[in-house]
């Protein structure tokens, strides 16, 4: 049994609660979508770079570019009212 198994079971149990299901369902629209876009559209599926410093720089530049694109879309379309 893993040292964190108790916490993993509790998280899995909480995920099935009625209030949490709506929040958990939005993950694929928000959080996971960002990483999928980074992999598919911005070449983060693999790299030719070596070293933590170079990879960190590539990741920071990629996510900065994604943030700039998101800001440009906000300016172009206007803020969405929630």
- In whole angstroms, what is the distance from residue 71 CA to residue 58 CA? 20
Reported as a single tens digit per residue, the pLDDT across 49-70 is 899 999 899 989 999 998 998 8
**What are the residue ranges in the chain where pLDDT is below 70?**
79-82
Whole-structure pTM value: 0.58
What was the pLDDT predicted at 82?
46
- In whole angstroms, what is the distance from residue 75 CA to residue 2 CA? 48
What was the pLDDT predicted at 53?
94
Q: Where are the domains of the chain?
A: 1-46, 47-77
Q: Which two tokens stand for residue 57?
A: 């720089």
- In whole angstroms, what is the distance from residue 38 CA to residue 49 CA? 16
- For 26-51, letters b (16+ CB in 10 Å) and e give eeeeeeeeeeeebeeebebeeeeeee
């Amino acid at each position: 049994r893993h040292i964190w198994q108790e916490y993993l079971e509790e998280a899995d149990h909480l995920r099935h609660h009625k209030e949490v299901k709506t929040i958990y369902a939005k993950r694929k629209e928000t959080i996971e979508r960002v990483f999928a876009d980074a992999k598919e559209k911005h070449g983060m599926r693999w790299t030719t770079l070596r070293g933590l410093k170079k990879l960190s720089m590539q990741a920071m530049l990629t996510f900065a570019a994604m943030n700039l694109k998101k800001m440009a879309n906000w300016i172009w379309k206007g803020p969405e009212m929630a």
